[in-house]
Structure 1
Amino acid sequence: MGKQDVKGKKVIITGANSGIGFEAAKALTAQGADVVLAVRNEEKGKEAVQNIKKEHEGAKVSVMALDLADLASVKTFADAYKERFDQLDILINNAGVMVPPYQKTKDGFELQFGGNHLGHFALTGHLLPLLKATPSARVVTLSSIAHRKAAIDFSNLDGSKGYKAMKFYRQSKLANLLFAKEFDNRLKQAGINAMSLACHPGISATNLFKVGGERMQPIVKSLLYRFFQTPEMGALPTIYAATKETLKGGEYIGPDGRGNHKGYPAIEVPAKGVYDEKTMRKLWDVSEELTGVVFDFS
């Protein structure tokens, strides 16, 4: 069993102007998919489109504005997409911020939980009608090995009772993983012909690793590539989750090397006790409450 044919399939990738999202976009357009890069910075998005078209003449790729740290922007994007297309085969919830100083989204959420989790939660909810209307649709949400030491602190989601950047990053990536699994459970319960999966890139040398907001020094970059995956390799779990025919939904895909830091994609078992049903349900309810987006599984 190989990869599904993605020719002519409609794909959205968030944060696809650089790093893993960009590599996934390149790979899927090369296979004939029609890809929308959903990005905050439209100029960078247009540049990415040009770069993809240079490599693959006739590539079907376009850019649309999406700011996951602004729920109004998320709704505007989803409405605009639904006007333009009547199907959505693959949604890749890829965009993310990592360990920023304490700041809030437009709606007052802590930036990492708000952008990495709640923004994608709301986006998926708004696009659910299209996913339901598209046979065998897939939603792929990016988590991280950082989820392993994480817990969801429901009493301090906004960071007002203290903020540690890495702790909140871990929390957001755990939320991504729990959302992906709970969403798949609910799709199956409702008998909807769609699946939700999670994946992670191992440790990839991407723009997330910008030091102090500046691009890395060449020496740091060469060290990163020695110890970590290239963005091309880091994108493989995403592509695998989006296209592998044998997947049933609910799986977690990551690199197969030591500690899942590097390697080729394989089904991975998350840390023990991660899929706690009570936590998953609570996170879902809190996410619907905070975003005002209620998923319609009927």
Structure 2
Amino acid sequence: MATKASRSAARMMMAPAVILLLGWMLIPLVLTLFFSFKKFLPLRGDRWENGLEWVGFENYVRFVSSSAFWPSVITTLIIVGGVLVITVCLGILLAMLLDQPMWGQGIVRILVIAPFFVMPTVSALVWKNMFMDANNGLFSHLWRLFGAEPVSWLSEASLPSIILIVSWQWLPFATLILLTAIQSLDSEQLEAAEMDGASPLARFGHIVLPHLSRAVTIVILIQTIFLLSVFAEIFVTTGGAFGSRTLTYLIFQRVLESQNVGLGSAGGVYAIILANIVAIFLMRIVGKNLDT
């Protein structure tokens, strides 16, 4: 049993890491809030030492009154929802396939997980030039092979294209988490159900899927945090055009257009609010599985 002295020593050793983590989180947040009430145009010669013009909630009103604000929020939620559906469903399927004994199982698992380690800009460029190019892309050649007219994916189907690219990046993460959960499943339960005459679909629905509920919850929560700030894939492929502008990309554009850091900071606060609303919703609806 830990003594009072050992607990105090543990707190002392953890204190530097905790302080560093809090500083890493709180300092950018405080600066974002500070700038959101100011008019700061550093690209036009404004200097910190000269003071910053106080504008109150003007930046917030300007940002939310923009005609592009709500479409960008909806686009963000569509991308997040689409990627979650694809990665969770295909992740479960791939995890079950990788759990089966096969030749070269280790190599196959490494190949499946490999896309997660590719930089977002690199993967977006690969998809844009090798697969989705309207003239020389692989998809265009497949379309011509079947006698169909090639599709300009990034302009005619921009949202599905971005969802596909981001899903390819995050599918290995979901597969790895779900594979770990499947491997912890007691095989005796499945064997007993099979001996009782349960079909494969029934075994999946009544044994495997409930066992994966906690892992699915973790995948959804972690991926949502990162997917709400998707930027590189949009910047490289569509540049925010063709209805693919997310809230994060809108913040980027507003800062460049107005050169006003305060306006971008107000957009950042809206992004934080959106992330917290989504997180609370997920914790209430999906996160209940963590308590069971």
Which TM-score tier does this pair reach, normalised by the shorter chain?
under 0.3
In the superposition, the TM-score normalised over structure 2's length comes to: 0.25
Higher relative contact order (CA 8 A, sep 6+): 2
Q: Which has the larger radius of gyration?
A: 2
In the superposition, the TM-score normalised over structure 1's length comes to: 0.24
